Amino acid sequence: MLKQPMIEKLAAMRLLGMADALKAQEQDPSARELSFLERFGLLVDQQLNWRENQALSRRLKNAKLRTPNACVEEIDYRTARGLDKSVIRSLTQQSAWVGTHENIFVLGPTGVGKSFVACALAQKACRDGYAALYTRAQSLFRDLAMARADGSLRSLLVRLSRIDVLVIDDWAMAPLSEPERRDFWEICEDRYQVRSTILTSQLPVSRCHEQIGDPTLADGILDRLVHNAHRIEMRGDSMRKNRGKANG
């Protein structure tokens, strides 16, 4: 009979996966046919799986993805949006693009699913062990302005520089102010060739230069973003509009 003190000791050592596996073994008659090492190996495997699942849950929670249930397996290729399944598949192979510190532009008109694709790629990166963070461009610039006002700007920039995959949604929707483009240049400089960034925008990359404004800073920002960047260019009608018509 399984002794409660043993379970309590495992819980005290935060070996909760092993404790659950031990309870399951006690209730499974076939487990008694296994050797000690075989049973112990199963306990170790369960503990490792538990730790990995806990770590993944923390990464997904910290990522604050706009679409929490977005995943690459759920990307819709049937709707004509210009999505190339082979490109998505190559990006999701162990999220190698994150390991090589490459960026991704997801471009296209409103409503075609840019945010979903960006969040799905970030979610896959989380599953592959990387840290991610989603933010809308407007929210990012608001947070930067508030941090400058209270003296915590450098601290915020340092935190952003440590995120493996930074997702910036609706980027370059409006012309950047002087503080915004300087702060964004700092972000790009800190992340260049050491971290990865996903940007979604309704504008083609060629139009982003004029939205940034200052030619020198625009050159510096785009040079750091476009270098080693993948482009996913989407097209078609708004999926939200089409769903609305279908529901109607």
Nearest-Å Rg of the Cα atoms of the chain is 23
140-160 core/surface letters (b: 16 or more CB in 10 A; e: else): bbebbeebeeeeebeebbeeb
Residue 103 DSSP code: E
Residues 2, 26: Cα–Cα separation, whole Å: 7
User: Is 74's pLDDT higher than 90?
Assistant: yes
For residue 57, pLDDT over 70 is answered with yes
199 within 8 A of 119, measured Cβ to Cβ: no
Per-position b or e across 109-136, b if 16+ CB within 10 A of its CB: eebbbbbbbbbbbbbbbbbbebbbbbbb
Q: Is residue 205 helix, strand or coil?
A: helix
pLDDT in tens, 189-244: 999 999 999 999 999 888 888 899 888 999 999 999 998 899 999 988 776 555 54
What local confidence, expressed as pLDDT, does residue 247 receive? 46
Alpha-carbon distance 146 to 95, whole Å? 33
- Read off the pLDDT of residues 82-113 as tens digits, 9 standing for 90 and up: 898 999 999 999 999 999 999 999 999 998 99
At 89 the three-state DSSP class reads helix
Which pTM value belongs to this model?
A: 0.83
HSE of 230, CA atoms in CB hemisphere, 13 A = 25
Q: Tell me the torsion sign for CA atoms 199, 234, 61, 42.
A: negative
pLDDT for 240 equals 57
**Residue count (the chain):** 248
For the stretch 1-52, pLDDT in tens is 457 788 888 888 888 888 888 888 888 888 888 888 888 888 888 888 888 8
Model pLDDT, residue 2: 55
Which of the four pLDDT bands, split at 50, 70 and 90, describes residue 248? very low
CATH number for 64-247 (one of 3.40.1190.10, 3.50.50.60, 3.40.50.300, 2.40.30.10): it is: 3.40.50.300
Which two three-digit tokens encode residue 2? 């399984």
Q: In this predicted model, what pLDDT tens digit does every residue of 156-198 receive, in sequence order?
A: 999 999 999 999 999 988 899 999 999 999 999 999 999 999 9
Q: Please, what is the Cα angle at 165 between 142 and 187, to 5 degrees?
A: 45
- Domain spans of the chain? 4-62, 64-247
Interior/surface letters 73-101, b for 16+ CB within 10 angstroms, e for the rest: eebeeeeebebeeeebeebbeebebbeeb
